[in-house]
Amino acid sequence: PASHRKRTNHSPGREMRREEKLCDALLDVSGVRFPVHKLVLCHCSSYFKALFTHWSSPDRRVFHISNVSADIMKVILDYCYTGLVHITEENLLELFTSADHFDVSGITRVCCRVMKEHLSPGNCVGVWRLTNMYYYPQLNKQVFVYILKHFQEVVTSSEEFLLLSAEELHSIIDEDELNVEEETVVFEAVLRWVAHAPQERDKHMVDLLPKVRLALLRPDYLTNCARSNGVLQNNRRCKAMLMETIRLMLDARATRLNSSLFPARLARPRLPRSFLVAIGGWGRNGPTNSIEVYNNRTDRWVGVANNNGAPRAYHGTVFLNGCVYQIGGFDGVYQFSTVHKYDLANRTWQEVAPMHSRRCYVSVSWLDGFIYAMGGCQGHVRLRTVERYSPETNQWTRVSPMNEARSDASSSAYNGKIYMCGGFNGEHCLDTAERYDPLTDQWTMIPQMSSRRSGLGVVVYGNEIYAVGGFSGTNRLNSAEAYNPSTNTWRPLPAMLRGRSNFGIEVVDGRLYVVGGYGGHSTIHWVECFDAKTRAWTEVRRMGAARSALSCSAVYDLPNMADYAASHQVREEERERDIR
């Protein structure tokens, strides 16, 4: 931070200090003398209160203060008299430690806030170690969570990572919440940390290596490391540990055993940064209230008990502030205007304010703290109306309608605008698309897609708007295309493995997932994902139940992420699956 100021209410006296009137103490800091009023300092600091009332005689006037520079003491005294604290990047660390020493809690609170606001992969280790030395548990926990979330960037950009103690590194890599795409990141981070001071740190390898999920690494990768890495070659116990892991992995592959039969710590995946949640839809027996959660790290779906949720299909969902909002929809008889939110931490449903209109086949998006509900059908009438919901006020407000009536369309928000694509107007499947700007409250048509698409999926992926699948009026489509807002053009994408409409779509951990849907003859439970790096679609674990007209959301930052992980819930039919 270049500069930071914080004002609080303090007792008067700055003019008297400036004029040195009624000053009853003199602080000597490395030869620099500061005339002060004892009463003012006692008000701000328990240290000075004890110094003036218990650690010295009442008539003592001069106090020699050590362990602080004159510049920092001036900042502290200015705060005591004015309520203003000037923080710079250069003085933050010394100011924090000095304010802690003198127990000036007003300054330490501001320093903590500044450090939190300016956390980065390059400085977070230093801040965390600082809060380990000084007792600031709330900031310590927040910075630790930041390190876990950004571990890959921390390892590559923080010089202070190599200065961690063995105990500190142990506590980081032991966490299930450690966010890494591949376990090789953790393994190589440990090797790099040891190689920084091998003579001192080699002895810690035997304790650190078991915290790496070795069974998640490839056998050939481990074999090459055991043969070529100097740190491992010189540590017999660790090399033996690797070879035993490789043997277990090869035996399991040869006998077709599941990786869950490994020792728990050896093969347990880390928790993902986010989960994919699929809610509701139309199953083979009608509408359903089924909730399933997909963990891409384990490639498994977990069913979530939903005893209170009403069956609903052709609805929309939005994840916001730890809750999934379920908006509108259809139960086979009624089109709904009602809205419910599901608290993922407490697993409870709550009804919130209803929309102004009943909407099934509705499209929903989240933008700038508001939930938008657009178009849909309220029986036989397709809608072009739009309304938005404020969670803070629990109110829906009408905004400008779209240029075209659309049901079974799909939308997504990007760079401050909402992009709406395709749908059905009551007569035709649509290839048109439009964009909403909340600053002007206006909808603007953008170039048409290459195909008519109703029941499509639209999502932001990278810096483009992806329009995937849908119904053309004659066929379920496997084609996909992407709109670039910068060039105002569409481009074709690789086709999905299966044509489908009315499916769930979401981006999780850098991959685009399409879930379930209608394949032309029946509802399907197939799931596939697209990776922009490889430009390829691959099939992943299918859902437990086939359904279309469902809605998906990516959920993250839950206090109980582990409750939704599938790492310990292995279905019987999965026990024959090979280790990847």
Q: Give the span between the Cα atoms of 348 and 366, in whole angstroms.
A: 22
**For 339-348, what is the mean pLDDT?**
94
Sign for the CA dihedral angle at 188, 189, 195, 200 comes to negative
Which DSSP state fits 574? G
The pLDDT of residue 19:
64
C-beta of residue 436 within 8 angstroms of C-beta of residue 448: no
- Which residue in the block uniquely carries the two structure tokens 């909403």? 436
What global pTM score does this model have? 0.83
Q: Give the span between the Cα atoms of 336 and 131, in whole angstroms.
A: 51
The pLDDT of residue 381:
95
Exposure on the CB side of residue 337, measured as CA atoms within 13 A:
12
CATH of 164-267, one of 1.20.140.10, 1.10.10.10, 2.40.50.100, 1.25.40.420: 1.25.40.420
For 355-369, give one letter per residue: b (16+ CB within 10 A) or e.
bebbbbbbbbbbbee
Higher-pLDDT residue of 102 and 249 is 102
In CATH terms, the superfamily for domain 14-118 is Potassium Channel Kv1.1; Chain A (3.30.710.10)
Q: Which of 422-431, 471-480, 537-546, 567-576 has the lowest mean pLDDT?
A: 567-576
pLDDT averaged over every residue in the chain: 91
C-beta of residue 449 within 8 angstroms of C-beta of residue 456: no
Q: Which of 59-63, 135-139, 468-472, 537-541 has the lowest mean pLDDT?
A: 59-63
The pLDDT of residue 245:
84
Higher-pLDDT residue of 225 and 324 is 324
pLDDT band at 226 (very low <50, low <70, confident <90, very high): confident
**For 409-415, what is the mean pLDDT?**
98
CATH of 274-569, one of 2.40.30.10, 2.120.10.80, 3.40.50.720, 3.40.190.10: 2.120.10.80
Q: Give the span between the Cα atoms of 265 and 401, in whole angstroms.
A: 55
**For 437-466, what is the mean pLDDT?**
98
pLDDT score of 18 more than 80:
no
Nearest one of 252, 122, 271 to 183, comparing CA atoms: 271
Domains in the chain: boundaries: 14-118, 164-267, 274-569
pLDDT band at 255 (very low <50, low <70, confident <90, very high): low
**For 374-390, what is the mean pLDDT?**
96
Burial of 535 (C-beta count, 10 Å sphere; 0-12/13-18/19+)? exposed
pLDDT band at 7 (very low <50, low <70, confident <90, very high): very low
pLDDT band at 112 (very low <50, low <70, confident <90, very high): very high
pLDDT score of 74 more than 90:
yes
Q: For 272-285, what is each residue's pLDDT tens digit?
A: 989 999 999 999 89
pLDDT band at 3 (very low <50, low <70, confident <90, very high): very low
**SS3 track for 165-228:** CHHHHHHHHCCCCCCCCCCHHHHHHHHHHHHHCHHHHHHHHHHHHHHCCHHHCCHHHHHHHHHH
- Kindly state the percentage of the chain with pLDDT values over 70: 92
Crossing angle between the packed helical segments 166-173 and 137-149, to the nearest 10 degrees: 60
The percent helix, strand, coil of the chain (3-state, each to 5) is 30, 30, 40
Higher-pLDDT residue of 185 and 253 is 185
pLDDT band at 259 (very low <50, low <70, confident <90, very high): low
Higher-pLDDT residue of 311 and 266 is 311
**For 214-227, what is the mean pLDDT?**
88
